[in-house]
Amino acid sequence: MRILITGGAGFIGSHVLEHLLHQGHALCVVDDLSSGRTEHVPRAVPLHMADITGAGVERIIADFAPEAIVHLAAQMDVRASTLDPLFDAKVNVLGTVRLLQAAVHHGVNTFVLASSGGAAYGDAPHIPSTEATPTAPMSPYGASKVCDEIYLEAFCRAHPLRGVALRFGNVYGPRQNSAGEAGVVAIFSGAMLAGRTPMIYGDGLQTRDYVYVGDVAQAVGCALAHDSARGAINIGTGVGTPLTDLAQSIRKLTGYTGPVMHAAPRAQEVRHSALDSNHAQAIMGWSAQTALQEGLQRTVAHLQTTLEPAVAVPLPSTVPAGAQSRDS
């Protein structure tokens, strides 16, 4: 299959790229490299540096003639969305609409959208949340993802297009930015490995569904392969882990002995989140395979290799030396 991946040079995108390459698909990547890195894309895969909100992306789609688009490019920081909701909407909503329009114009058959479970459901009345849980976003970012899903559904009603909105949990794993993009696992791991004090906002009892990036890449592959996959599909583990427990696990893996600081809670952040993924299992045979402890070990081991020698500290012997992501 010919597949165009937006955001394919980024954290999640690069793992999806590797997984789909392994399956033998012909791929093309569109990425503005605002957070992605060229070294994440093999030389054999065309990489177009382009903004999904610009007119140039339609020319790329016309030239490559993909059968499917996997749309991962996004402004995905909840805090950034509250500070600049107009920019968030421009990237996440207008960028998605432009891609959908181009997909219809150029005969794309399948459109897989990266959506958000926790941000879309908000403080859900039932945990873990199913796809039947009403969406109730608490941030502009969450609102933009719900809006994307509505546009996707409308385009699929009006045109011969199969649309899948994968509602990801909190994705973590190797290559996630530890400097403070999105992703508390990478932020905590990077800080503790460097001997810096990690910060928890609030009491630390808030819970998130942490799903390993290799499992997410497999979910994208399943969505492309199964024609029965349509509409919103949760991609998570079904387990909500408190932030304090997460910090303690990372502390043990990194050997960090310093304090963990607390600060005032951040506005517009969900208190508890976990995703019921039984629907994904039923319609496309997907379920999360990587236990949190295993995924954290892989993440910390990978991050250790990227730190400057001056600040890197040895990992405890419980972490396999040279452990890698299953997609690496």
Contact call for residues 311 and 195 (beta carbons, < 8 A): yes
Q: Please give the full DSSP string across 53-110, using - where no structure is assigned.
A: TSTHHHHHHHHH--SEEEE------HHHHHH-HHHHHIIIIIHHHHHHHHHHHTT--E
In a domain, 286, yes or no: no
Contact call for residues 226 and 285 (beta carbons, < 8 A): yes
Dihedral sign, Cα of residue 314, residue 290, residue 10, residue 17: positive
In a domain, 220, yes or no: yes
pLDDT (0 to 100) of residue 266 = 86
Report the distance separating Cα 17 and Cα 38, nearest Å.
13
- Write b or e for each residue in 110-119: b if 16 or more Cβ atoms lie within 10 A of its Cβ, otherwise e: bbbbbbbbbb
pLDDT (0 to 100) of residue 68 = 98
Q: CB neighbours (10 Å) of residue 295?
A: 25
Give me 198's structure tokens: 């990690």
- Residue 183 backbone class (left: φ over 0; alpha: ψ -120 to 50; beta: rest): left
Looking at the annotation, which residues are catalytic? Answer: 141
In a domain, 257, yes or no: no
Range of the domain at 32: 2-171+211-235
In a domain, 127, yes or no: yes
pLDDT (0 to 100) of residue 245 = 98
Query: Which residue positions in the chain have pLDDT lower than 50?
Result: 309-328
The DSSP symbol for 134 reads: P
Q: Per the structure, how many domains does the chain have?
A: 1
CATH of the domain at 85: 3.40.50.720
In a domain, 67, yes or no: yes
**Closest by CA position to 169, among listed 151, 183, 188:** 183
In a domain, 327, yes or no: no
In a domain, 176, yes or no: no
Q: Which residues are within 8 A (CB) of 124 and not within 5 positions of it... i.e. 6 or more apart?
A: 133, 136, 272, 273
In a domain, 200, yes or no: no
pLDDT (0 to 100) of residue 111 = 98
pLDDT (0 to 100) of residue 310 = 39
